[in-house]
Amino acid sequence: MQNINEDTITQAVIASLARCDRPRLRTIMTSLVQHLHAFARDVALTEDEWAQAIAFLTEVGHITDDKRQEFILLSDTLGLSMLVTTQNNVKPSNCTEATVFGPFFVEGSPVYQNGDDISNGAHGAPCYVSGQIRGVGGEPIPFAHLDVWQSDEDGFYDVQTPDASGETVMRARGRLTTDEHGRFHFRSILAEAYPIPHDGPVGRMLAATGRHPWRPAHLHFMIAAPGFETLVTHVFRNGDPYLDSDVVFGVRSTLIADWIEHAPGTAPDGTRFDAPWYSLDFDFVLNAGAA
Ligand code: BEZ
Ligand code: FE
């Protein structure tokens, strides 16, 4: 096709997809082209702005490696991650809601027993976390697997603070299994609010658009059990000043809970805290389905 103009270009690109023999890919590409072209028309995109966008995406690629995922940050801060999460996690109303996965999950984190301290030296106020995992009918889910991960009191995940040799010591993350009553408990540190990494192109985009980079204090959970949908979620700390302006739009009111402050003393499992400590008790309800 020759002499394509502003009015015929969109249809020409869509027609070029005619030989794509993967129906889903063709649907996605057709819609992507329609929306990209509509966007460029809508804002009357200039050549200079187009070049800036290409330079921005190039920088997002260059800063991304196995420890820093700027594309996920971009998706998160544009609300795309939360949109994909919500439209793929429609569940019965008494199920625990899902929220964003984020870029700081690590495969193969340390395995702990109920009662262990998963902080592994991460700095923060001591904390005791407990709860039960149930199905929608209220039945406890024994031997469910929990992955837990969180930042330290300075707002950093272990993967952001490698040691002098560049190795990551896994801290404030771990894998646990519920007991025969679906219950779990562990020690860790108090969740604190933190800014997402904002020293790269996504941080510049936030600053240029008048946005802050903060997430309210939260604890990440990924919970899996045979016969249930895997749940990826957080528990958010009640009272946090960023609950209404989470930079990645992940807060659900049903996921907000109280961390209760205690004087030194005995924890629910009979062990002692010699310094002031916090407790969080939160139950999760999983939807039936394939893991
Ligand atoms: C997180 O909660 O770990 C996170 C989520 C989205 C972007 C950055 C961090
Ligand atoms: Fe987080």
> 249 and 126 share a domain?
yes
> 38 and 107 share a domain?
no
> 95 and 230 share a domain?
yes
Name the residue type at position 100: V
SS3 string of 24-35? HHHHHHHHHHHH
| φ/ψ of residue 215, rounded to 5 | -115, 140
pLDDT digits (tens, 9 = 90+) for 131-177: 999 999 999 999 999 999 999 999 999 999 888 888 889 999 999 99
Please state the domain count of the chain.
2
Of all protein residues, the one whose alpha carbon is nearest to atom 4 of ligand 1 is 102
Tell me if 139 is assigned to some domain: yes
What pLDDT sits at residue 164? 80
Protein residues near ligand 2, an ion, with CB under 5 A: 102
3-state helix, strand, coil in the chain (%, to 5): 25, 25, 50
Query: With 80 as the cut, is the pLDDT of residue 291 above it?
Result: no
Which conformational region is residue 69 in: left (phi greater than 0), alpha (psi within -120 to 50 degrees), or beta? Answer: beta
Q: Is 100 in the pocket of ligand 1 (CB under 6 A)?
A: yes
Q: Is 173 in the pocket of ligand 1 (CB under 6 A)?
A: no
> Pairing relation of β-strands 145-149 and 173-177?
antiparallel
Residue 179, domain CATH: 2.60.130.10
> 256 and 131 share a domain?
yes
> 101 and 235 share a domain?
yes
> 40 and 143 share a domain?
no
pLDDT digits (tens, 9 = 90+) for 231-263: 999 999 999 999 999 999 999 999 999 999 999
**What is the atom index within ligand 1 of the atom nearest the CA of 104?**
3
Among residues 119, 114, 109, 115, the alpha carbon closest in space to that of 222 is found at 109
Residue to mutate, 151, 220, 248, ligand 1, most ligand atoms under 8 Å from C-beta: 248
> 78 and 220 share a domain?
yes
DSSP 167: P
Supply the pTM of this predicted model: 0.94
Of all protein residues, the one whose alpha carbon is nearest to atom 5 of ligand 1 is 102
For ligand 2, the distance from its centroid to the CA atom of residue 16, given in whole angstroms, is 42
Tell me if 125 is assigned to some domain: yes
Cα angle 110, 161, 206 (rounded to 5 degrees) comes to: 115
Burial of residue 116 (number of CB atoms within 10 Å: 0-12, 13-18, 19+): middle
Domain range for residue 40?
1-44
Among the bound ligands, the one closest to the CA of 150: 2
What pLDDT sits at residue 1? 81
Among residues 221, 225, 134, the alpha carbon closest in space to that of 175 is found at 221
Query: With 80 as the cut, is the pLDDT of residue 125 above it?
Result: yes
Of all protein residues, the one whose alpha carbon is nearest to atom 7 of ligand 1 is 102
Q: Are 168 and 104 in contact (CB under 8 A)?
A: no
Q: Are 188 and 148 in contact (CB under 8 A)?
A: yes
Rounded (10°) CA dihedral 239, 244, 245, 251 = 90
Tell me if 61 is assigned to some domain: no
Q: Is 196 in the pocket of ligand 1 (CB under 6 A)?
A: yes
For ligand 2, the distance from its centroid to the CA atom of residue 198, given in whole angstroms, is 14
> 213 and 260 share a domain?
yes
pLDDT digits (tens, 9 = 90+) for 188-230: 999 999 999 999 999 999 999 999 999 999 999 999 999 999 9
DSSP 88-100: T----TTSPPP--
> 96 and 18 share a domain?
no
For ligand 2, the distance from its centroid to the CA atom of residue 254, given in whole angstroms, is 17
